[in-house]
A and B are shown apart, each in its own frame.
Chain A
Amino acid sequence: DVVMTQTPVSLSVSLGGQVSISCRSSQSLVHNNGNTYLSWYLQKPGQSPQLLIYKVSNRFSGISDRFSGSGSGTDFTLKISRVEPDDLGVYYCGQGTQYPWTFGGGTKLELK
C-alpha cells in the first residue's frame, strides 16, 4: 500500500496568518496516464470530510482561493492563507493513483 505521511500532526495559527501542511507518499503518485491523483480534504468539527483540492492543485467547486495545493511525485503541500475561523479542523491528504486508495494521518489546525 502507498503510505501517506502528513506533517505536522498539529498546527497552531493566528487568524489571518498563513500555514503549510506537508504530505509525502511512499511511492510516486504519478499514474500511468500521466496524472497525479493527490487530493486534500478538511474535516471540520462535527462534520464529514469535504473535498478542497484534487489532482494536486485544482480547487473543488466553491473552495476559496486562500487554499492552494502544489507538489509532484512524492512531495505535496497545502497552503492556507489569511486563515479564518471556519478553516479550523483536521486536514487529510489522500491518493487515488494506486489501489488501495489511502489517506494521510491528518493534521489538526487550531487557533493560537
Chain B
Amino acid sequence: EIQLQESGPGLVKPSQSLSLTCSVTGYTITSGYDWSWIRKFPGNKMEWMGYISYSGSTNYNPSLKSRISITRDTSKNQFFLQLNSVTTEDTATYYCARKGITCFDYWGQGVMVTVSS
C-alpha cells in the first residue's frame, strides 16, 4: 500500500524558511508519477504548490515561483519542500500527494505549519 508521511517543524518565524519532508513507502518515487505539495489554508482554500516528477524535473505554481524549491533524495525515497521568506499568510496545513495524469490519488496526513514570531 502506498503511504506518504509529512514531517517538519510546526512553527516557523516570519522571514525564515519552511522546510518539510515527505517520506513515501510502498512505491518508488523514481518509478513514475509527479510528487506534489499542496496546502490548505484556514477557511478551506486549497493551493497546489508544485511537484517534482519521477525523472526529477520540477514545476511550480507561478504564485510561489520565486520562493519555492522542491527536491528529493532518491536513496531515502523522500522529497522535500522549501519555502523561503515566509509570512503569516503561509500558515496552513501542508500535504504531500502523488499525482498521476489526472488527479491526486494518494495523500499524506498533513502537517500544520504556523508562521509566527
Contacts and interface: CB of A to CB of B under 8 A. Distances in A.
Partners in one complex: yes
Interface of A: 35, 37, 39, 41, 47-51, 54-55, 60, 90, 92, 94, 96, 99-103, 105-106, 108
A65 B45 CA distance: 28
A37 B61 CA distance: 18
Contacts, number: 56
Given A101-B99, A105-B44, A106-B46, 16 more contacts: A39-B102, A39-B103, A47-B109, A48-B107, A48-B108, A51-B104, A54-B102, A54-B105, A94-B103, A96-B101, A99-B59, A100-B48, A100-B62, A101-B48, A106-B44, A108-B44
B100 to A, nearest CB: 8
Q: Bin chain B's interface residue count.
A: 20 to 34
Given A100-B48, A103-B46, A49 B107 contact: yes
A39 B44 contact: no
A110 B110 CA distance: 23
